[in-house]
Amino acid sequence: MLTEWIDVTWILHSDLPVWPGEVRPVLDRVSTVEADGVQSTHLNLGAHTGTHIDAPRHFIAGGATIEEIPLEILTGPCLLVDCQGDGPLIEVSDLEGVSWEDVERVVFRTRSAFFPMEGDFRPDFVALSLSAAEFLVAKGIRLVGIDYLSVERFEANSKFPVHKALLGAGVVVIEGLKLRDLKPGLYELVALPLLLEGSEGSPARVLMRPLE
């Protein structure tokens, strides 16, 4: 019997950390039931705010945009791998002991899962190394998720090689997953973005439930 769904989406709010240079989300309550008889809200946020999906177009000219990503990539069995070492990067050595047979989707829980998702951006989050990204591509992985705001380490003047390696191979990336309370193992994943025409990314609602 399948267990209940777990929501691994961070709530959008005005104090949510964002990548440097991005605007914090604004939820503008333009009317309320108490004052106006109806509540209405206007949103102002970037496509890569909070829990979000990167489509290949984010870094790849001519790559798929968010509405072109097939649902069969965004839904299905997913392996959660625990990588809570002290290093700043997930390396190939962290992946070699994992059984990758029949795995097409993987999400990584790191020590960054325990960062508060409010206040200032934390540049010391755990990311993927380029060699680890290339390892996953070679294994035929179609979707990679991580718990903080990027699969790429924070560097000044970065050329984003990890994003380019994954997205260039058609791998979909999910960033900002709420994984702190989940155990390693096999899950069913549902990750649904907004269908933003021509966009390179979108906020998403992401659900997981254990399959073991």
- Per-position pLDDT tens, the chain of length 212: 567 999 999 999 999 999 999 999 999 999 999 999 999 999 999 999 999 999 999 999 999 999 999 999 999 999 999 998 888 999 999 999 999 999 999 999 999 999 999 999 999 999 999 999 999 999 999 999 999 999 999 998 899 999 999 999 999 999 999 999 999 999 999 999 999 999 999 999 999 999 97
- Per the annotation, the verdict on 42 as an active-site residue is no
Choose among 67, 60, 27: nearest CA to 45.
Answer: 27
Whole-number Cα distances in Å, 101 to 39, 107, 132: 50, 15, 17
- Position 21: which residue type? G
Q: Could you give the CA distance from residue 143 to residue 208 in angstroms, rounded to a whole number?
A: 14
**pTM, 2 dp:** 0.96
Q: Could you give the CA distance from residue 200 to residue 53 in angstroms, rounded to a whole number?
A: 9
Choose among 100, 150, 113: nearest CA to 128.
Answer: 150
Could you tell me the domains of the chain? 6-210 (3.50.30.50)
Longest dimension (CA), the chain: 59
Q: Could you give the CA distance from residue 154 to residue 165 in angstroms, rounded to a whole number?
A: 16
> Helix, strand, or coil here: 174?
strand
Q: Could you give the CA distance from residue 97 to residue 94 in angstroms, rounded to a whole number?
A: 7
Q: Could you give the CA distance from residue 10 to residue 145 in angstroms, rounded to a whole number?
A: 14
DSSP calls for 110-121:
-GGGGS-SSSS-
* Choice among 48, 52, 58, 163 that is catalytic: 58
